[in-house]
Amino acid sequence: MKILHIDASASNAETSHTRRLSNELVERLKADHADATLVYRDLVADQLPHVDMTIRHAWLPENADDPALVETRGRSKTLVEELKAADVVVIGAPMYNFTVPSTLKAWIDHVSIAGQTFSYTAEGPRGLLTGKAYLVISSGGIYSQGPFAANDHLATYLEAILRFLGISDIDTIRAEGIAYGPEQDQAAMARASGQIGALSAAA
Ligand SMILES: Cc1cc2nc3c(=O)[nH]c(=O)nc-3n(C[C@H](O)[C@H](O)[C@H](O)COP(=O)(O)O)c2cc1C
């Protein structure tokens, strides 16, 4: 089993909820699958540039020998190959301003490449990826239900883009409402850990 583990929290390993939980999940997967191999991407420590048209140009066959596009093509290809090779993708994603951190959005822009991870057909777009994704998300407020549910552009967006790319088997683990106080923070983390344990046991 090939695991691609991605973290996008600007907080460090000690303070970040998503880093702690995504790590816990990956450790459980490794414990459950003796053959597991891991590729790890910290999108904050190693930030990707914002998308520009060189990424599109770099993938065009007629530009294959363009020396100006070597670096962009190499980076984008590495990211796409990592994702294509993964059986399981684990994404740790805090909510920033109702959606994904821009570091994670940059990764999505680098890997969502027509002809590589999705294609357009006469019937519409078709995802070219397979496999499973675990989303480990955290937010100060509560968005899974209640009055702010309509503001969730994090889980809904990540699930939508992964499905668009062909990954439809998605489990989403939430630690939410962590800004409501230390007790709510602890309870949310315990619930999320419990969810990870249950997922792992069922895998
Ligand atoms: C830049 C920034 C923007 C944030 N925006 C939101 C938000 O829109 N809604 C929310 O509920 N929490 C928001 N938060 C709180 C985080 O989602 C919350 O602290 C979460 O636990 C962060 O995950 P982490 O601990 O893995 O870094 C924001 C935090 C930061 C740093």
**Nearest ligand 1 atom to alpha carbon 95:** 17
> What was the pLDDT predicted at 203?
52
Cα of 61 from ligand 1 centre, angstroms: 41
Residue 193: pLDDT over 70? yes
> What was the pLDDT predicted at 49?
94
- Distance, in Å, from the CA atom of 34 to the CA atom of 19, rounded to the nearest integer, reads 22
Residue 84: pLDDT over 70? yes
> What was the pLDDT predicted at 48?
96
Over residues 194-202, the mean pLDDT reads: 79
At what angle are helices 102-111 and 70-85 packed, to 10 degrees? 90
Question: What is the pLDDT confidence band of residue 87, given thresholds at 50, 70 and 90?
Answer: very high
β-bridge partners, 40: 5
DSSP class per residue in 121-178: ETTEEEE---SEEEEEEEESS--SSSTTGGG--SHHHHHHHHHHTT--EEEEEEEE-G
* Atom 3 in ligand 1: residue holding the nearest Cα: 96
**Nearest ligand 1 atom to alpha carbon 139:** 17
Pocket, ligand 1, Cβ cutoff 6 A: 9, 11, 16-19, 94-98, 138-141, 178
SS3 16: coil
Look up the domain containing 119 and give its range.
2-202
Cα separations in angstroms, 32 against 28, 36, 90, 135: 6, 9, 15, 18
Over residues 134-149, the mean pLDDT reads: 97
Average pLDDT, the chain: 95
Question: What is the pLDDT confidence band of residue 56, given thresholds at 50, 70 and 90?
Answer: confident
> What was the pLDDT predicted at 200?
55
> What was the pLDDT predicted at 14?
94
Answer with the residue of higher pLDDT: 93 or 54. 93
Which of 43, 102, 139, 158 for a ligand 1 pocket mutation test, highest count of atoms within 8 Å of Cβ?
139
Answer with the residue of higher pLDDT: 57 or 157. 157
Q: How many helices (H) and strands (E) does the chain have?
A: 6, 7
Over residues 175-188, the mean pLDDT reads: 98
* Atom 17 in ligand 1: residue holding the nearest Cα: 139
> What was the pLDDT predicted at 9?
98
Residue 16: give its domain's CATH number: 3.40.50.360
- Domain total for the chain? 1
Over residues 5-28, the mean pLDDT reads: 97
